[in-house]
Amino acid sequence: MSDPTNEYTDWEEFEDGTLTEEEVELADDRWADAEIEDSARSIDETGDEKRNVVAELMRERAAKAQSRADDDTVDKMIGIVDGEAPVGIDDGIDLAAGAGAGKLQLVTRQTQIKEFVLASVFFLCAIVAVLGVALIFAFVAYKAFPIFTEVGFGNFITGTEWSGTEGKFGIVPFIVGSFVVTLGALAIGAPLAVMTAVFLSELASKKIRSFVRPAVELLAGIPSVVYGFFGVVVIAPIVSRLFGGVGFGPLTAWIILSIMIVPTIATLTEDALDSIPMGIREASFAMGANQWQTIYKVVLPAAKLGIIDAVILGMGRAIGETMAVLMVVGNAPQLFAGITRPISTLTSQIVLDMGYATGTQRTALFGMAAILFIISMSLVLTVRLLSRFGQEMSG
Amino acid sequence: MKKTKDQIINDVALSFFWIAAGLTVAALFAIIIYVVVRGIAVVSPTFVFTWPHGVNAEGGIFPTIIASIYVTALSMLIATPIAVLAAVYLAEYAKQGLAVRIIRFAADSLASVPSIVMGLFGFAFFIETLGLPLSMLSAALALSLLMLPIIMRTTEEAIRGVARYIRWGSYGMGATKWQTVSRVVIPAAMPRIITGLILAMGRAIGETAVVFFTMGQAVNLPVIPTDSGRAMPIHLYLLAVEGINIPAAFGTAFMLMGLIFTFNLLARLISKRYKKVD
Amino acid sequence: MSGCRGAAITDTVNVAGSTTILPIAEVAAENFMQQNDEISVLVSGMGSSAGIEAVMSGTADIGTSSRNLKEGEGEGLVDIPIAYDGIAAIVNPDNPVNSITTEQLRGIYSGEITNWSEVGGEDLPIDLINRDESSGTRDAFASNVMDESHFDVGAVILPGTGQVREVVARSRGAIGYISVGYVEPRFGTRPVKALILDGVEPTDENVALGVYPISRVLHFFTKGEPEGATKQYVDYILSDEVQLGAVIQAGYLPVSTIEGGQ
């Protein structure tokens, strides 16, 4: 894969982040034209005098394929060339030029239509995601809209009192609660996750890694309601004993949530670490740096953006977490009053009130859902912008 | 030989990474062991295969297991074809450009939509607006929106994981795009695609907030897609907070985790087996 | 098994509403369907308000509610009480306080009284446990105890009876409230202590006699007098089989036990 004469093999570097998106676009376009040329070239490397004979054969076959182009012929051609490389570079390029103009000359109109229809179907499927997001946002916003006219946007997001039965719909306590819970969980979970990822990527032997990595993946598989249940029966009593209160509040939520976001952050961080070229580590070691110095001064800075991405996505996971938080946070619609005092979050309040909410309160819950949606979407957007920023920096 | 200051710092710093990894593993084991120890005493053939009865959900959890499997299978049936084809588009057909950027952003956003928002949307849209009943179908539709980006991502990664030169070979021989994709790329990516699907199923079966408002909560054995039911995670939630039958809650948690870990193990076995074949 | 129903189902009764009533309605539905092959009863629990709305809009034949109708709500609905329930204030068994007045209870829940020493107990902060607003238990507690006072927003809000009980059982300073029927430990849960309120012990007898201060009615609501399959199901709920079976098992009091009951 590292043929220096072939600029298209550089593709892999895109995944490493060493190519910009623009460069990749360019490469992608050229790649489409030259993919055939490539294989011809690689065949040529082992070329000998037989190549003209083989090229001739290829041309004949290509001509035949054109006349009765169907899938079978193409398959046969594949077989023939597999068996009978090498072919000359010049002939290869000729062939590529003929085929590149292209590939379509080898197929019937029917196949051409089939190709087009299939491509369209794939495109439509890909669009479903866009439609889904648009629909969810539009619908939730539509359902939430009356809150702005009935309560007023300002009162809604700056009000500090919430009581469905008394008609008070201020969601400041929930916004504060969501952020308190999320940031605390990040403060514990992010270092734990990043260090676990560094351990997996840099320190662990193959044997240990094959044990720890599945553990991290299993952690991701545990349903949030089980985490919540565990929080209720195990963590809350311990917190209650150590810190007073009854054990429902931010501290318990932090402990549970920080475990829950470890897999998200650790997996993404490990991806970022793995994409750093081995060479820079070797260079660091070669200069006499020890493992810690290499991790701290070389590896972590190189993976910085990837790690920030991971933490931001972990934040998204934490802020959207519902059942586990609902079960351990105490759900009191008050402002943060201490790590063992109950608070409530956007997500948990929606579940609590949805069962009975009607009228304005119902729209208020949709308003909260819309806000959650916007928060999680902006986190995704931040990650996107960061990676573009990163490309500009390195480009 | 005496250690230098750098070496000591190195040792201390590295030990923290060991501790972090140890804590992560310990957290997993704490949860597993606790649930297994308390749950296994409750689980028996009667627990798995009979109905809950009485006002405190004594007896078994059979209908909830069926409802969970039912809704998961249905949502996968809806999400998988769309997600896999979308991934094929992104990995093989799409040229870098605005359209792809929008699709990717949408998929990432969809993946980050909090599950309760999805649940709320599902209730308001599928049930209140479209008039579907509280049922497997409504829950599966909402759930499939959540699964879509997950399957899309794992499938796209699987397809991109297929070495480029294999495609060059195929194209070089004059194969069309679809021939290359369907006969070369997808077969090569299949084990990883299946692994991704199974992991997504594990995710779907444990999902609570999405199905909370879309499935109904009554215990019922679903037969047709418009039947309502109570999935295992909801049963667990209700037992844990509303009810007083905590042993049954542990039993349910045990079964739920058992099911999910089985999926995980299956995924692992498949990917391992195909690696050997390669 | 209620999953194996006869093929010829001619009637369906939709029951929607209170999660408190859900278990009773469900168990009853199960047995009812075994006895009446041709009728299918679908029970769902979405909360009392949703139940009232469902029966008003006609999506449900019966709306169940663990609270009374609010002003202007459910005009013209027929109210069928199906059970009674007393609500006990509970504390940790280690808490020396045994009895309390309604006024003190109000003071505690409105946040004016914050230490057990203020109601004759030890010097220990009170950990307040409340229910979520959708809870019929909370509704009954509010209307019987709170008068015009507001609940302290700093209280821990737990979404279910089981959790309230469990937390009070393990926290010395905690106070909560649950249905009288759930005070006694079951399924290996730890004990809690029910407080004597205004000198009256929260027992079934006292609730039935109407002397215990906090009680509520569990309702079925129908739009117009129940007919056909709906009436059959309602009659079954009111029969001794359910009243002396599921209702009592669920920790509530049969309607017939109330003085001058229906």
The string of DSSP letters for chain B reads: -PPPHHHHHHHHHHHHHHHHHHHHHHHHHHHHHHHHHHHHTT--HHHHHS-EETTTTEE--HHHHHHHHHHHHHHHHHHHHHHHHHHHIIIIIPPSSHHHHHHHHHHHHHHHS-HHHHHHHHIIIIIIIS---SSHHHHHHHHHHHHHHHHHHHHHHHHHTS-HHHHHHHHHTT--HHHIIIIIIHHHHHHHHHHHHHHHHHHHHT--HHHHTTS--S-----STT-----HHHHHHHHHHT-S-HHHHHHHHHHHHHHHHHHHHHHHHHHHHHHHH-
C214: left (phi over 0), alpha (psi -120 to 50) or beta: beta
Place of tokens 């299956």: B266
> For position A208, what pLDDT does the model report?
93
Determine which of A172, A331, A356, A362 to mutate to test the interface with C (most C C-beta atoms within 10 Å).
A356
Chain C neighbors (3+ CB pairs < 8 Å) = A, B
CA distance readout (Å), A13 to A16, A23, A41, A308, B157:
5, 11, 21, 21, 16
For CA atoms B231, B233, B236, B242, the dihedral sign is: negative
ipTM over 0.85: yes
**Per-residue pLDDT reduced to its tens digit, C17-30:** 887 788 888 888 88
Percent of the residues in chain B that have a pLDDT greater than 90, as a whole number: 45
Chain A neighbors (3+ CB pairs < 8 Å) = B, C
Q: Is the pLDDT assigned to residue A153 strictly greater than 90?
A: no
* B220·C42 Cβ contact <8 A: yes
Instruction: Give a yes or no: residue A205 inside a domain.
Output: yes
Residues 6+ away with beta carbon under 8 Å from C70: none
* A356·C170 Cβ contact <8 A: no
Nearest chain C Cα to B221, which residue? C3
> For position A257, what pLDDT does the model report?
96
Alpha-carbon gap: A293 to the closest alpha carbon of chain C (Å): 47
Number of structural domains found in chain A: 2
Q: Is the pLDDT assigned to residue A13 strictly greater than 70?
A: no
> For position C128, what pLDDT does the model report?
94
Mean pLDDT of C66-75: 81
> For position C71, what pLDDT does the model report?
78
Task: Using the 3D structure, point to which of A74, A89, A105 is the last residue of a domain.
Answer: A105
Alpha-carbon gap: C156 to the closest alpha carbon of chain B (Å): 14
**Per-residue pLDDT reduced to its tens digit, A242-265:** 998 899 999 999 999 999 999 999
> For position C24, what pLDDT does the model report?
86
Q: Which residues of A touch B32 (CB under 8 A)?
A: 218
Mean pLDDT of C249-253: 83
> For position A58, what pLDDT does the model report?
53
Are the beta carbons of C48 and C18 closer than 8 angstroms?
yes
Higher pLDDT, A374 or A68: A374
Domain interval for residue A35 = 6-105
Kindly list the domain boundaries of chain B, sorted by start residue: 5-40, 63-277
Please state, as a whole number, how many other Cβ atoms lie within 10 Å of the Cβ of residue A41. 21
Nearest chain A Cα to B217, which residue? A355
**Strand C156-158 versus strand C127-131 pairing type:** parallel
Stated as kind and residue range, the H or E segment containing A190 is helix A172-198
Mean pLDDT of A96-101: 45
Instruction: Tell me: do A201 and A82 sit in the same domain.
Output: no
Mean pLDDT of C2-23: 71
Average pLDDT, chain C: 86
Q: Is the pLDDT assigned to residue A122 strictly greater than 70?
A: yes
> For position A174, what pLDDT does the model report?
95
A41-50, A176-185, C217-226: range with lowest mean pLDDT:
A41-50
What band does C182 get if pLDDT is binned at 50, 70 and 90? Answer: confident
Instruction: Give a yes or no: residue A120 inside a domain.
Output: no
* CA B158/CA B193 separation, integer angstroms: 6
Superfamily of domain B63-277: MetI-like (1.10.3720.10)
Please state, as a whole number, how many other Cβ atoms lie within 10 Å of the Cβ of residue B164. 16
Q: Is the pLDDT assigned to residue C6 strictly greater than 50?
A: no
Q: Nearest 5°: phi and psi at C127?
A: -95, 110
CA distance readout (Å), C242 to A141, B55, C22, C238, C247:
45, 11, 13, 7, 6
Q: Is the pLDDT assigned to residue A38 strictly greater than 60?
A: no
> For position A22, what pLDDT does the model report?
56
> For position A229, what pLDDT does the model report?
94
> For position A166, what pLDDT does the model report?
77
* A248·C134 Cβ contact <8 A: no
Q: Which residues of C touch A333 (CB under 8 A)?
A: 153
* CA A377/CA A133 separation, integer angstroms: 10
* C133·A352 Cβ contact <8 A: yes
C147: left (phi over 0), alpha (psi -120 to 50) or beta: left
Please compute, for residue C114, the number of CA atoms within 13 A of its CA located in the half-sphere on the CB side. 6
Determine which of C123, C134, C137, C190 to mutate to test the interface with A (most A C-beta atoms within 10 Å).
C134
* CA A63/CA A69 separation, integer angstroms: 9
Instruction: Give a yes or no: residue A132 inside a domain.
Output: no
3-state helix/strand/coil string of C123-177: CCECEEEEECCCCHHHHHHHHHHHCCCCCCCCCEEECCHHHHHHHHHHCCCEEEE
* CA A316/CA A310 separation, integer angstroms: 10
Mean pLDDT of C223-251: 89
* CA A189/CA C142 separation, integer angstroms: 40
C111: left (phi over 0), alpha (psi -120 to 50) or beta: left
What band does A106 get if pLDDT is binned at 50, 70 and 90? Answer: low
Instruction: Tell me: do A229 and A360 sit in the same domain.
Output: yes
B278 at interface of C, judged by CB pairs closer than 8 A: no
Instruction: Tell me: do A195 and A325 sit in the same domain.
Output: yes
Instruction: Tell me: do A266 and A349 sit in the same domain.
Output: yes
Q: Nearest 5°: phi and psi at A387?
A: -70, -30
Instruction: Give a yes or no: residue A342 inside a domain.
Output: yes
Q: How far apart are the first and last CA of chain C?
A: 33
Place of tokens 């098994």: C1
Query: DSSP E strands: which ranges in A21-177?
Result: 162-163, 168-169
> For position A16, what pLDDT does the model report?
44
* CA C162/CA C135 separation, integer angstroms: 13
Q: Please list the ranges in chain B whose pLDDT falls under 70.
A: 1-2, 54-57, 243-244, 275-278
> For position A2, what pLDDT does the model report?
37
Are the beta carbons of A220 and B260 closer than 8 angstroms?
no
* CA C193/CA C198 separation, integer angstroms: 16
Instruction: Tell me: do A153 and A294 sit in the same domain.
Output: yes
Give the number of B-C residue pairs with CB atoms closer than 8 Å. Answer: 84
Instruction: Give a yes or no: residue A358 inside a domain.
Output: yes
Are the beta carbons of C228 and C11 closer than 8 angstroms?
yes
Query: Which two tokens mark C117?
Result: 């020493």
Q: Which residues of C touch A235 (CB under 8 A)?
A: none
Are the beta carbons of B91 and B100 closer than 8 angstroms?
no
> For position B275, what pLDDT does the model report?
64
Q: How far apart are the first and last CA of chain A?
A: 23
**Strand A168-169 versus strand A162-163 pairing type:** antiparallel
* CA C166/CA C188 separation, integer angstroms: 11
Query: Which two tokens mark C239?
Result: 């029969």
The most confident of the ranges A52-61, A385-394, B191-200, C16-25 is B191-200
For CA atoms C16, C17, C23, C25, the dihedral sign is: negative
Alpha-carbon gap: C6 to the closest alpha carbon of chain A (Å): 33
Higher pLDDT, C45 or C31: C31
Are the beta carbons of B174 and A65 closer than 8 angstroms?
yes
Nearest chain B Cα to A317, which residue? B112
Q: Who among C48, C153, C158 is closest to A356 (CB)?
A: C48
Instruction: Tell me: do A94 and A27 sit in the same domain.
Output: yes
> For position A9, what pLDDT does the model report?
38
* CA B162/CA B86 separation, integer angstroms: 17
Give the number of A-C residue pairs with CB atoms closer than 8 Å. Answer: 78
**Per-residue pLDDT reduced to its tens digit, B67-90:** 999 999 999 999 999 999 999 999
Q: Nearest 5°: phi and psi at C100?
A: -155, 160
* CA A80/CA B121 separation, integer angstroms: 56
> For position B2, what pLDDT does the model report?
67
Q: Which residues of B touch A376 (CB under 8 A)?
A: 109, 112-114
Alpha-carbon gap: B138 to the closest alpha carbon of chain C (Å): 15
Chain B neighbors (3+ CB pairs < 8 Å) = A, C
Query: Which two tokens mark A141?
Result: 């916003």
Nearest chain C Cα to B131, which residue? C59
B224 at interface of C, judged by CB pairs closer than 8 A: no
Please state, as a whole number, how many other Cβ atoms lie within 10 Å of the Cβ of residue A211. 13
Place of tokens 């098992």: C249
Residue A284 belongs to domain with CATH number = 1.10.3720.10
* CA B35/CA A221 separation, integer angstroms: 15
* CA B64/CA A72 separation, integer angstroms: 51
**Per-residue pLDDT reduced to its tens digit, A305-339:** 899 999 999 999 999 999 999 999 999 999 998 99
Determine which of C53, C115, C132 to mutate to test the interface with A (most A C-beta atoms within 10 Å).
C132
Instruction: Tell me: do A21 and A98 sit in the same domain.
Output: yes
Are the beta carbons of A16 and A277 closer than 8 angstroms?
yes
**Per-residue pLDDT reduced to its tens digit, B3-61:** 788 889 999 999 999 999 999 999 999 999 999 999 998 888 888 888 877 666 677 89
Average pLDDT, chain A: 78
**Strand C77-91 versus strand C253-254 pairing type:** antiparallel
* CA B92/CA B171 separation, integer angstroms: 13
Instruction: Give a yes or no: residue A63 inside a domain.
Output: yes
Instruction: Give a yes or no: residue A378 inside a domain.
Output: yes
**Nearest to A337, CA basis, from C117, C174, C155:** C155
Maximum Cα interatomic distance, chain B, rounded to a whole number of Å: 78
Q: Who among B221, B239, B244 is closest to C165 (CB)?
A: B244
What band does C261 get if pLDDT is binned at 50, 70 and 90? Answer: very low
What band does A49 get if pLDDT is binned at 50, 70 and 90? Answer: very low
